[in-house]
């Protein structure tokens, strides 16, 4: 049977671990609410932007396919944006991203990878560390984007991606991130960032509104596409941020629960040991008294 | 007319307005009640709108405005009061 003191020591250490995981869960829950709020704040903007774009492109026949952002080139050089988190202790959140990126490479870009033409842009410290250890090309210095997540920061990263694409340094850019479904579920998403896929034409409806365009339609589209790309990246970042906090919350909840179970078992052992010790002591006393009496 | 000013980070204004002036890419212009449908790119500048006679201002770093069915939607990239 275990030593009484030893068991007591383990109980204290499990209790303090439990306190930490409980606190982390609370913090994650508070942060989750905030990041969810940000997603809801951003949604009207994204929706209206895409509806304007939809109106614009359905107003006339689409002849913007020769613009730089929708140029489909031979996929020689590929850039993958991997959005992870800055901190660990959030379950399989980060490893899902790593696995997702490696799977995308293996399934779609194996030949490019063999020639060393797959580059990864890590966002979040964990991705930076993980892919830094591997033999892949890294680019960009956006691994600390999450320490101060604002639209301007996201816009800068998006602008970087756009200029790289425009300059022909990459022929295709994809984003891998965790989409926030609910607190317990994250969905791994791979989205094509550039070239821009033409907006899905929902039926052949000619726009019922006859807009006045200022300056003109083409120019507005070219002005709006970068905006919508920035929003797309920002949305990915926000989603990932919310997912991270959700994942951490569930992971820490599980950890607290497990610690509780462990504690229950340890307390049982502790009490059993204590009782055994007492019984042994009484036995010794009684035996001693008996011995004295008979003497 | 109904005016809505949104940025990717928050909703700045939502409600009825009498008029609104925007820094258009080709020059400043004003929108009054029942304006024809319009989409315009905006550059950096001051957006001024009147609510019940009281003028209010926001400074935007660029954006786009859509007017349709007497609804004015301003999508601003960034806003400083």
Are A223 and B64 within 8 A, CB to CB? yes
Return the pLDDT at B72.
93
Residues of chain B neighbouring A216 (CB-CB closer than 8 A)? none
pLDDT of A163 > 60? The answer is yes
Domain assignment of residue B55, given as a range: 2-80
Within 13 Å and on the Cβ side, how many CA atoms surround A170?
Answer: 25
* Least confident range of A74-83, A89-98, A221-230, B37-46: A221-230
Q: Which CATH superfamily is domain A63-199+210-248 in?
A: ATP synthase, F1 complex, gamma subunit (3.40.1380.10)
CB within 8 A of A210, min separation 6: which ones? B37
Q: What is the mean pLDDT of residues A60-85?
A: 77
Q: Inspect the interface and report whether the beta carbons of B41 and A214 lie closer than 8 Å.
A: yes
> Residue A76: which of A199, A183, A170 has the closest Cα?
A170
Specify whether the CB–CB gap between A287 and A66 falls below 8 A: no
Between CA A79 and CA A120 the distance in angstroms is 6
pLDDT score recorded for residue A141: 76
Confidence of residue A60 (pLDDT cuts 50, 70, 90): low
Q: Which residues of B touch A209 (CB under 8 A)?
A: 37, 68
ipTM rounded to 2 decimals: 0.84
The pLDDT of residue A260 is above 60: yes
Comparing alpha-carbon positions, the chain B residue that sits nearest to A44 is B6
Nearest Cβ partner for B8 among A56, A211, A234? A234
Q: Which of A11-20, A213-222, A232-241, B39-48 has the lowest mean pLDDT?
A: A213-222
A76-A199-A109 Cα angle (round to 5) = 20
pLDDT at A27: 95
pLDDT band at A233 (very low <50, low <70, confident <90, very high): very high
B46 touches A: beta carbon within 8 Å: no
- Average model confidence (pLDDT) for chain A? 87
**A4-59 and A217-294 are packed helices; what angle lies between their axes, rounded to 10 degrees?**
170
Give the gap in angstroms from C-alpha B10 to the nearest C-alpha of chain A: 5
The pLDDT assigned to A1 comes to 54
In percent, the amount of chain A with pLDDT more than 90 equals 50
Nearest Cα residue to A250 out of A17, A28, A96: A28
The pLDDT of A232-259, averaged and rounded, is 94
Residue A28 phi, psi dihedral angles, 5° rounding: -60, -40
Q: What is the pLDDT of residues A184-222, one digit of tens each?
A: 889 999 989 888 876 665 554 555 677 888 888 888 888
Smallest Cα distance from A42 to chain B, Å: 5
Active site residues per annotation of A: 90
Q: Is A269 exposed, middle or buried (0-12, 13-18, 19+ CB in 10 A)?
A: middle
pLDDT confidence of residue A184: 85
Give the range with max mean pLDDT: A63-77, A119-133, A141-155, A248-262. Answer: A248-262
pLDDT digits over A117-152, tens only?
A: 999 999 989 999 999 888 788 887 777 788 888 888
Q: What pLDDT is attached to residue A201? A: 56
Report residue A244 as tokens: 């991270």
For residue A3, the model assigns a pLDDT of 84
Query: Which of B8, B13, B23 to mutate to test binding with chain A, by most A CBs within 10 Å of its CB?
Result: B8
The domain ranges of chain A are 63-199+210-248
pLDDT at A16: 96
pLDDT of residue B11: 86
Q: What is the CATH number of the domain that holds B20?
A: 2.60.15.10
Question: Mean pLDDT over all residues of chain B?
Answer: 90
Is residue A77 within 8 A of residue A56, CB to CB? The reply is no
Q: What is the reported pLDDT for A59? A: 60
Q: Check CB contact under 8 Å for B9 and A219.
A: no
Q: What is the mean pLDDT of residues B8-16?
A: 88
Q: Which chain A residues have a beta carbon less than 8 Å from that of B64?
A: 49, 52, 220, 223-224, 227
Q: Which pLDDT belongs to residue A48?
A: 87
Q: What is the pLDDT of residue B50?
A: 92
Q: Exposed, middle or buried by CB within 10 Å (0-12, 13-18, 19+), for A286?
A: exposed
**Position of tokens 């999450």?**
A146
Unique residue bearing structure tokens 């009490």 = A271
Determine the Cα–Cα distance for residues A120 and A134; give it in Å rounded to an integer: 11
Strand partners, B2: B16, B71
Record: contact A214-B37, CB cut-off 8 A? no
Residue recorded with tokens 């002005």: A223
């Amino acid at each position: 049977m275990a030593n009484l003191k030893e068991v007591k020591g383990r109980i204290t250490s499990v209790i303090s671990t439990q306190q930490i995981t409980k606190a982390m869960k609370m913090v994650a829950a508070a942060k989750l609410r905030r990041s969810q709020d940000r997603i809801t704040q951003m949604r009207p903007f994204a929706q209206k932007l895409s509806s304007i774009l939809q109106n614009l492109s359905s107003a006339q026949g689409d002849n913007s396919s020769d613009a730089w952002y929708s140029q489909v080139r031979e996929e020689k050089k590929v850039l993958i944006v991997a959005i992870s988190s800055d901190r660990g202790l959030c379950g399989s959140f980060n490893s899902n991203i790593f696995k997702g990126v490696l799977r995308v490479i293996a399934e779609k870009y194996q030949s490019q990878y063999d020639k060393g033409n797959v580059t990864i842009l890590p966002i979040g410290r964990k991705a930076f560390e993980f892919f830094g250890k591997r033999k892949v090309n890294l680019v960009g210095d956006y691994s600390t984007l999450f320490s101060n997540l604002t639209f301007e920061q996201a816009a800068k990263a998006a602008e970087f991606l756009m200029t790289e694409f425009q300059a022909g340094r990459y022929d295709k850019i994809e984003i891998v991130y965790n989409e926030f479904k609910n607190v317990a579920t994250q969905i791994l998403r791979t989205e094509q960032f550039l070239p821009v896929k033409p907006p899905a034409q929902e039926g052949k409806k000619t726009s019922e509104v006859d807009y006045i365009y200022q300056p003109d339609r083409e120019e507005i589209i070219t002005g709006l596409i970068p905006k919508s790309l920035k929003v797309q990246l920002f949305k990915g970042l926000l989603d990932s941020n919310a997912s991270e906090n959700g994942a951490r919350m569930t992971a820490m909840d599980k950890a607290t629960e497990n610690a509780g179970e462990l504690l229950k078992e340890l307390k049982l052992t502790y009490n059993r040991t204590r009782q055994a010790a007492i019984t042994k002591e009484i036995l010794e006393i009684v035996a001693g008294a008996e011995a004295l009496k008979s003497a | 007319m109904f005016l809505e000013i949104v940025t990717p980070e928050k909703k700045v204004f939502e409600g009825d307005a009498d008029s609104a002036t925007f820094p258009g890419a080709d020059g400043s212009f004003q929108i009054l009640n029942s304006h024809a449908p319009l989409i315009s790119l905006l550059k950096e500048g001051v957006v001024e709108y009147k609510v019940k006679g009281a003028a209010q201002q926001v400074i935007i770093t660029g954006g786009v405005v859509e007017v349709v069915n007497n609804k004015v939607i301003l999508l601003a990239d960034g806003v400083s009061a």
